[in-house]
Amino acid sequence: MDEIPAGLSAFLAAVQSRDAKGAAAQLAEYVILESPIADVPYVGREQVGNVVARLIDAFDEFTVTEIIVGDGYFAVVTNARIGTTEIDGVDLVGINAEGKVASLSIHSRPLRAVVELQNRLAPALAMPVLKVAEEL
């Protein structure tokens, strides 16, 4: 597979244009989202669509910088901004036979930025706010 599937392109375009409904339309019914800010994966179009909508609200800017093509899987290299904080990410995306996003595994850095993102999302996702512990 040497090309980006239409469903993945449409999903990423919707996220970049802040269209949560358009992004959710490209999710498979039983999509799985693994995130660095949650202990357990989010499962299903409704749950994952809600998280994607919250992410869109949290980001001030979201840019796809590169897509690395595999056999049915894709590594989407991203950069996001929350205020003055930048988050670099690599999202591993699986596409099902219907061309829908079937799995998302989000990998982000640096840790301070991930914690800042988690703090923005915590109230909407009913999770405790995390803090970075520092030793001097």
Question: Positive or negative, the Cα torsion across 11, 109, 107, 24?
Answer: negative
Between residues 15 and 115, which one has the greater pLDDT? 15
The answer as to whether 62 is a domain residue is yes
For residue 69 the two structure tokens come to 């093509």
Reported as a pLDDT band with limits 50, 70 and 90, residue 136 is: low
pLDDT in tens, 40-98: 999 999 999 999 999 999 999 999 999 999 887 899 999 999 989 999 999 999 999 99
Domain span at residue 109 reads 6-123
pLDDT, residue 1, reads: 46
What pLDDT is stored for residue 52 in this prediction? Answer: 95
pLDDT at 134 over 80: no
Q: What DSSP string runs through the chain? A: --S--HHHHHHHHHHHTT-HHHHHTTEEEEEEEE-TT-SS-EESHHHHHHHHHHHHHH-SEEEEEEEEE-SSEEEEEEEEEETTEEEEEEEEEEE-TTS-EEEEEEEEE-HHHHHHHHHHHHHHHT-PPP------
Whole-number percent of the chain with pLDDT over 90: 70
| 121 or 53, higher pLDDT | 53
Q: Is residue 47 part of a domain?
A: yes
CATH code where residue 75 lies: 3.10.450.50
Euclidean distance between CA atoms 8 and 115, whole angstroms: 27
Look at residue 136 and tell me if it is in a domain. Answer: no
- Total structural domains in the chain? 1
pLDDT at 2: 58
- Model pTM score: 0.88
Mean pLDDT of the chain: 91
Asked whether residue 39 is assigned to any structural domain, the reply reads: yes
* Residues 78/66, Cβ–Cβ less than 8 Å: no
